[in-house]
Structure 1
Amino acid sequence: MEAFQAAMLLGGVGDALGCRNARPESSAGGGRAQDELQRLGGLDHLVLSPETWPVSENTIMHMATAAALTTDYWCLDDLYREMVTRYVEILEKLPQRQADPATAQGCAQLKPHNHLLAWHTPFNERGSGFGAATKAMCIGMRYWQPARLHTLVEVSVECGRMTHNHPTGFLGSLCTALFASYAAQGKPLARWGRDMLRSVPLAEEYCRRSIRHLAEYQEHWFYFEAKWQFYLEERHISEDTGNEAVFPEHYDAEERDKTYKKWSSEGRGGRRGHDAPMIAYDALLGAGDSWTELCERAMFHGGESGATGCIAGCLFGLLHGRDAVPAGLYGALEQRVQLEQLGAALYRLSTEEK
């Protein structure tokens, strides 16, 4: 249970650190961001309070997904209606937190009062953003057991395309949900990327069965897979599950920023559904059990560090707990109590027989 609580909590911490209070420096390079952190005294002396280091819509939407997953739903359709209701309620609170435009647009198209079509949104050419990925780790926590794989695939796809109805967007939610399930299972980290790609056909099969937007999906489907194949080859993670990731000999903040931009589709690392989980995964591979190193790689770079930080922090919590994390980072964190309660509820429900 402690790992699940740490996952929800550290996802919020990673989000708050990555967003850095929406300061202009958040779009600067990773080196500059890390220099500013040192001027503040470093991670050991930092206190994340709601007033100065609030969480963003990444955490708020993740909490909404987790809250829906912990209700007493009778079937998945009921779960989806609950998600829709919670997302729409949150929409009114997002503007003051500078909501991601794709997330706001997706929420605006949901229909909570339409019993049959509540979560059926139109295909969105601009729905490829990171917002689907940052709200889906808890799905993998709820359905982490291997026997629940097909449920995980269906729920993560539907959850993702509620707000980001584009393959690059909702495959991001599938990716982070799978990564969370792998962490809970204790699967070796180096296997995650390859095993995730092996599950992508299950998502395609589900979309075919649900008969929605197949023509629009077809044109964009393979982009996500191609980007991930390129990444795994660059890190020399082959089909041989024993391979460990290989990093460049010189890989400082400046080089990471260049690499993250290269993986991106628009020159801002972590902006899309494929590269936000990719950067978080890369950071986990490079950081090992070091929280400080993870923050440098995932929370303090020149891209969409709030999104990558949220994903990386959550997965780190599942893998390593919170013992290595300075207490000041989570002791007064916004929504701390609710995040820990949701983590406990997800653990309890995921281990119960239904």
Structure 2
Amino acid sequence: MAAPPPPERYEAALLLAAAGDALGFRGGLWEYCTAGAQIHAELRALGGLNRIELRPPEWRLSDDTVLHLATAEGLCSGLEGDALLQELARHYVAAMEDMEGRKPGPSSILGTSQLRPGEPHGYPRPEELPTLIQVSIESGRMTHHHPTGYLGALAVALFGALAVRGEPPEVWGAELLRVLPHAWEYVEGVGVAVGDNAAAWDFFGDSWRRYAESRGLLEGCGPPRVPALPTPEERDAEYARWALQGWAGRSGHDAPMVALEALLAAGDSWEELCARAVLHGGDSDSTGTIAAGCWGLRWGLSAVPPSMHRALEYRPRLCRAARRLHELAWGR
């Protein structure tokens, strides 16, 4: 078993995920900006990353962190199986009362409106869910009941688990492809809308197989072939090739893809990670949340300007949840 990471790494993961969200969102100004070059120009006018204090009201959190925090606090209950899913459903429903000005997506609104926590079948399917595959899929289905959506939740959960184990990002794509058949076995076994799920299933895996092959990562070894893409325009063009309807990071397949690409290219550079995963012309708060959270698990807070996290909205809740999750995971 790998040595447990310090609890500070869990705090870094939740705090930096929120920082990536707040930065990429900027009250909707940057999330809905289609030109990365414009975002970078506005960042320069603000004095650069080191001059920004991520503090509300200008730098509020979006729906991404509100739901991420709802997931974390649901998991903090320490419950399992049906009780855990009922708890997650309760937190998601409550979180939707905190969406004023945070721009929740229509899928999230529709999905949570159909949850009935406390009732039998108050979420998609009551089963024992002891594994990462099961919990990530079922929690994902509460807001995005489509394979491309909830497999994105599986990818992010898997990437986080691999980061905790100390596995480098070079292996994450291959590991995701290895896990997908097991995910289908679970979905088929649960028996919820199997035909509809089967019809839409292949898109996610095919997209990830093409990406992994293009980066030399199908075998999960060797240095990745990540193109330099030094300008915002080049990154926007590359990300748009993976996207649905040209909106990079909007879908469950390419949001973790943009995040992984940034992690591969940025190494231990927080500034480069932000340039690639947060400050681009797409769904930048979503990709920023994923990439920055995984980066925090790997590198911690020491290389990040304190202004990126010391005044974040909901900072105490994020830190409490991180400490509790570390305690539940490692028993200390």
Determine helix, strand or coil for the equivalent of 2:101: helix
Determine helix, strand or coil for the equivalent of 2:301: coil
Distance between the aligned counterparts of 1:69 and 1:296, measured in 2?
31
Kept after mapping to 2: 8 A contact 1:26/1:33: no
Kept after mapping to 2: 8 A contact 1:190/1:244: yes
Distance between the aligned counterparts of 1:248 and 1:313, measured in 2?
20
Map 1:264-303 onto structure 2 (within 5 A): 264-303=243-282
**Structure 2 runs not aligned, ≥5 long:** 1-6
1:79 is displaced (CA, Å) by 0.3
Distance between the aligned counterparts of 2:54 and 2:228, measured in 1?
33
Give the letter aligned to residue 238 of structure 1.
L
Deviation string 1:95-152 (CA, Å, 9 cap, x unpaired) is 43221111111111111242x211128xxxxxxxxxxxxxxxxxxxxxxxxxxx9611
Q: 1:185 aligns with which of 137, 150, 165?
A: 165
Give the letter aligned to residue 60 of structure 1.
V
1:285 is displaced (CA, Å) by 0.3
Q: 2:94 aligns with which of 89, 93, 100?
A: 89
Distance between the aligned counterparts of 2:112 and 2:57, measured in 1?
26
Change (3 A) 1:232 1:150: farther
Aligned to 1:77: 82
Which has the larger displacement, 293-302 or 91-100? 91-100
Determine helix, strand or coil for the equivalent of 1:221: helix
Map 1:32-71 onto structure 2 (within 5 A): 32-71=38-77
Kept after mapping to 1: 8 A contact 2:24/2:31: no
Aligned to 2:29: 23
Distance between the aligned counterparts of 2:218 and 2:108, measured in 1?
34
1:243 is displaced (CA, Å) by 1.6
Aligned to 1:125: none
Kept after mapping to 1: 8 A contact 2:259/2:291: yes
Q: Across the two proteins, how many residue pairs are aligned to each other?
A: 323
Distance between the aligned counterparts of 2:267 and 2:57, measured in 1?
31
Distance between the aligned counterparts of 2:31 and 2:214, measured in 1?
29
Distance between the aligned counterparts of 2:186 and 2:202, measured in 1?
16
Aligned to 1:230: 210
Distance between the aligned counterparts of 1:26 and 1:40, measured in 2?
19
Q: 1:257 aligns with which of 236, 254, 275?
A: 236
Q: 1:328 aligns with which of 300, 307, 310?
A: 307
Kept after mapping to 1: 8 A contact 2:236/2:281: yes
Deviation string 1:57-109 (CA, Å, 9 cap, x unpaired) is 10010110110101142x31000000111111121222432211111111111
Map 1:103-118 onto structure 2 (within 5 A): 103-114=108-119, 116-118=120-122
Deviation string 1:288-326 (CA, Å, 9 cap, x unpaired) is 000000000011000000000000110010000011110
Change (3 A) 1:96 1:253: closer
Deviation string 1:33-79 (CA, Å, 9 cap, x unpaired) is 01111110111111011111001110010110110101142x31000
Aligned to 1:246: 225
Aligned to 1:142: none
Change (3 A) 1:250 1:176: closer
Determine helix, strand or coil for the equivalent of 1:270: coil
Residue 100 in structure 1 maps to residue 105 in structure 2: yes
Distance between the aligned counterparts of 1:72 and 1:24, measured in 2?
36
Superposition CA RMSD, Å: 1.6
Residue 218 in structure 1 maps to residue 192 in structure 2: no
Kept after mapping to 1: 8 A contact 2:86/2:117: yes
State the TM-score, normalizing by the size of structure 2: 0.94
Map 1:299-318 onto structure 2 (within 5 A): 299-318=278-297
State the TM-score, normalizing by the size of structure 1: 0.88
Distance between the aligned counterparts of 1:243 and 1:67, measured in 2?
37
Kept after mapping to 2: 8 A contact 1:11/1:312: yes
1:28 is displaced (CA, Å) by 3.0
Distance between the aligned counterparts of 1:11 and 1:47, measured in 2?
15
Identity across matched positions, percent: 41
Determine helix, strand or coil for the equivalent of 1:303: coil
**Structure 1 runs not aligned, ≥5 long:** 122-148
Determine helix, strand or coil for the equivalent of 1:79: helix
Determine helix, strand or coil for the equivalent of 1:53: coil
